Structure 1
Amino acid sequence: MTTINFSRLAKADWFGPLLATLIAIIAIRWYSPNFLSSFNIQTLLLAIAINALIGFSQMIIIAIGQMNLSVGAIGGLSAIAFAGMLQIWGLPVPVAAVLALAIGTLCGIVNGVLINITGISAFVITLATLSIYKGINLGITEAQPFYDIPESVKEFGSALAFGSVPMLALPMVIIAVALWYLLSRLPIGRFILAVGGNEHAASLSGISVRTVVIVAHAISGFIAACAGTLLVARLQIGQPSIGDDWLILSFAAPVIGGAVLSGGHVSVVATFLGVVIVALITQALVLFSIDPFLVQVVLGTLILAAVGINRLRGTRRAVRRA
């Protein structure tokens, strides 16, 4: 019975990333006793809080078999809008936050609508909107940061809950649970996975593919906006460069988590663990005084390895079915 249960457990999407996470923690702790210090743990949790949202914003698009190259541009535009409304217009923090999230959601909707209207691939559409949203960002800021961030926002960005858990992690947890519930319990979540699995079959079964595409991109835009807004609180400044380096990470986390790039299969838990693995590797490079630019090389290697493993799994499943 135990063997059967372990066999089922090993087949779960999150089992591999969880095992890799535990091995990485043990290995890094072995070579660096200070790795699990409270300061390092807080640093890790801060990185994970933001990066998980970045990964989730891409994951929901991968679920429908598409990709969103404008994730970083949407997050950056929302961040700048949030900081700008606080500094220039003097809006209350909650109002500015809601408007910034609305801007991100609207950008996502625009992506979905353009994909539906033109019939052009999401890759090309989001590549174009990436340039548009980034251009608007630079037009608003003139490439200059917004410095006048209210103290309440700064305090939230540095505040701790339950002793050592950053407050920034709480919105991430809420969004992660909401995404898990949406994909596993709600009809729209099943529709998203159905469209990613087989768009033609989903359409024949009565699912409005156009609506699903727009909803998925709207959710992606909303989550990217959350990441950008929270990053303003963490950095305590509205930087025009926010989001510029999100693209590789946004793909790395879901792919490491076993997401199928052709769509129809994603995991919130495994994507989160993918983010944890990337954060651990980044932290290890810092602790071992290794060139931080090597992170990009490692991320690219991880993506290639994860895609190869996923392809191997798919081939084995196809052979078994045959």
Structure 2
Amino acid sequence: MLHLSRLSRADWFGPLLATILAILLIQSFSASFLSAYNIEILLLAIAVNALVAYSQMVIIAIGQMNLSVGAIGGLAAISFAGVMEVWGLPAPLALLLALAIGALAGAVNGILIRITGISAFVITLATLSIFKGINLGITEAQPFYGIPESVKSFGASILFGPVPLLVLPTAIVTLLLWLMLRRLPMGRFILAVGSNEHAAALSGISVGTTVVAAHAISGLLAALAGVLVVARLQIGQPSIGDDWLILSFAAPVIGGAILAGGHVSTMATLLGVVIVAIITQALVLFSIDPFLVQVVLGAMILAAVGLNRLRARTPLKGSH
């Protein structure tokens, strides 16, 4: 009984229970919900959305927010597609360039926040506009169609059964993030800065370096998400990333992240992504108006924040 009580307090327990209940409920109304085709569609959405959520989660961990997640992902995506079409760059080099652009854009956010002392909200709101403007300047609002067959093949390939190959990079990133937050010094520094920036500085942690590193990691993850979207769509759309912002907050918050910082959970955030994907897919299956997806996401964020505030009465710092 004591073990079960401790288990129920884990960040991932609630989202896991909600995921199982949602699957059982939707399956009872629609027998096709767990068909191979639907599972593949769900996993494709999860593969991209998990990276978007992780990109925000890392910033929430330091007690900040990144409104430019989608703009960075979109800029990396069109850079990835553009250099392959215009310059004929091989896909691996284009990937490295796109990831470097994402990490650099994220680092710029972190540097500006530390140098100016202006809140992350204001800085990333400004860079959102800048990065999106660069995106539109490069593309002139037109897609890049010259995606190599190797990239198209990667985006369309199946790993096994209904599991798409796009899931593999996300699975690797999930494991690496979990290890970073639980085992590596950088993960501990990020959580310490989020818990108490002043105490972290007194204990010898370089707060400035940690903030810049967190934003660089965030930009890198957003860029990888953008690249996966290009591979999935087989086209470099200037609009990639435009609708990521709400999702990027929804999944970590559903996963128990404390917006003030210092406490996030990789596994619970992943389950938050799964819950959002399941609800979105259910609305499609039942032919419900798409605008309700945004309504449901907003309601879920409010509910999750409310539950987190109740749990904060017995706070548990750290990550799982």
TM over 0.5: yes
Q: 1:122 — aligned with what?
A: 120
Report deviation, 1:165: 0.9
Q: Distance in 1 between matches of 2:80 and 2:73?
A: 10
- Is 1:206 aligned to residue 204 of structure 2? yes
Q: How does 1:156-171 map to 2 (within 5 A)?
A: 156-171=154-169
Q: 2:71 — aligned with what?
A: 73
Q: Distance in 1 between matches of 2:114 and 2:184?
A: 23
Match of 2:250 among 225, 249, 252: 252
Structure 1: which 5+ residue stretches go unaligned? none
Q: 1:215 — aligned with what?
A: 213
Q: Distance in 2 between matches of 1:36 and 1:221?
A: 34
Q: 1:189 — aligned with what?
A: 187
- Is 1:56 aligned to residue 29 of structure 2? no
Report deviation, 1:317: 4.7
- Over 3 Å counting, the alpha-carbon distance change for 1:304 and 1:55 in structure 2 is same
Please provide the CA RMSD for this pair.
Answer: 0.8
Q: Distance in 1 between matches of 2:92 and 2:208?
A: 32
Report deviation, 1:25: 0.2
Match of 1:11 among 9, 14, 25: 9
Match of 2:280 among 267, 279, 282: 282
Q: Secondary structure at the match of 2:313?
A: helix
Report deviation, 1:315: 2.4
Give per-residue Cα distances to partners, 1:238-295, cap 9 Å, x unaligned: 0000000000000000000000000000000000000000000000001111001100
Match of 1:22 among 20, 23, 39: 20
Match of 1:310 among 308, 311, 314: 308
Report deviation, 1:204: 0.7
Q: 1:90 — aligned with what?
A: 88
Structure 2 counterpart of 1:56, which letter?
Y
Q: Distance in 2 between matches of 1:163 and 1:311?
A: 41
Q: Distance in 2 between matches of 1:265 and 1:317?
A: 9
Q: Distance in 2 between matches of 1:15 and 1:230?
A: 29
Structure 1 counterpart of 2:101, which letter?
I
- Is 1:291 aligned to residue 313 of structure 2? no
**Segments of 4+ in structure 1 off by > 3 A?**
none
Report deviation, 1:33: 0.5
Structure 1 counterpart of 2:305, which letter?
V
Q: Distance in 1 between matches of 2:283 and 2:223?
A: 29
Report deviation, 1:303: 0.1
Structure 2: which 5+ residue stretches go unaligned? none
Q: 1:34 — aligned with what?
A: 32
Report deviation, 1:316: 4.6
Q: 2:138 — aligned with what?
A: 140
Q: Distance in 2 between matches of 1:149 and 1:311?
A: 46
Count how many residue pairs are aligned between Structure 1 and Structure 2. Answer: 316
Structure 1 counterpart of 2:116, which letter?
T
Moved more, 162-171 or 116-125: 162-171
Report deviation, 1:164: 1.9
Q: 1:44 — aligned with what?
A: 42
Report deviation, 1:37: 0.3
Report deviation, 1:148: 1.2
Q: Distance in 2 between matches of 1:293 and 1:146?
A: 28
Structure 1 counterpart of 2:13, which letter?
F
Report deviation, 1:59: 0.1
Q: Secondary structure at the match of 1:315?
A: coil
Give per-residue Cα distances to partners, 1:158-190, cap 9 Å, x unaligned: 100022211100000000100000000001100
Structure 1 counterpart of 2:261, which letter?
G
Q: How does 1:262-273 map to 2 (within 5 A)?
A: 262-273=260-271
Q: Distance in 1 between matches of 2:111 and 2:312?
A: 32
Q: Distance in 1 between matches of 2:24 and 2:243?
A: 29
- Over 3 Å counting, the alpha-carbon distance change for 1:317 and 1:242 in structure 2 is closer
